[in-house]
Amino acid sequence: MRELNMTEAVCLVAGAGIGGGQMGNSGNITISGGVVQAGSHLYAAGIGGGKGGNAEEITILGGTVTARGGSYGAGIGGGQDGNGGNVVISGGSVSAVAGSQAEDIGAGHGGSDSGSLIYKDAESFFTNNFVIFIIIGILAAAFIVILSLYLNLKKKRLVSKQED
């Protein structure tokens, strides 16, 4: 597994900015932080497979990641004729832009499988904070009931004062 925390990677031939060379798969790539700018000029993914190469396992845990695919390459995923692989994004800010007729995150042009894309942040946020959301909902409902009772009591007092 390759751990990346860099500023810029650009490939000027048919290899990915970060990942496989020409006809090479990406291997396992993990980006854990920093500012990462990766791009390819010819037929490969910005992050992933080279020309004819597939993305395998790409994990982004944090950082600011910008990936630009070359002609017919995915931003993150497969190069031209390459498949998407498994992409997991669980933190950070990610921008992926594909070359012509490819997917921003997924398969390159001519690839037959987009692969999978999982955003863990939203899923884990709601799962881990479910109890907190329930408690907030109950407290909000209790506040509304108490406020309603208070206003009704004030209204009754006003009416009784007017009758006197």
Q: Please state, in angstroms and rounded to a whole number, the distance separating the CA atoms of residues 18 and 36.
A: 10
User: Over the stretch 88-142, which tens digit does the pLDDT of each residue have?
Assistant: 998 888 999 999 999 999 999 999 998 888 887 655 555 556 777 788 889 999 9
CA distances from 84 to 35, 153, 155 (A): 23, 64, 65
Are 27 and 20 in contact, with CB atoms under 8 Å apart?
A: yes
pLDDT of 9 reads 56
Q: Domain coordinates of the chain in residue numbers? A: 2-120, 129-163
User: Over the stretch 63-85, which tens digit does the pLDDT of each residue have?
Assistant: 999 999 999 999 999 999 999 99
Q: Which of 33, 30, 26, 37 is nearest to 3 (CA)?
A: 30
Sheet (strand 18-19) strand order = 18-19, 47-48, 76-77, 105-106
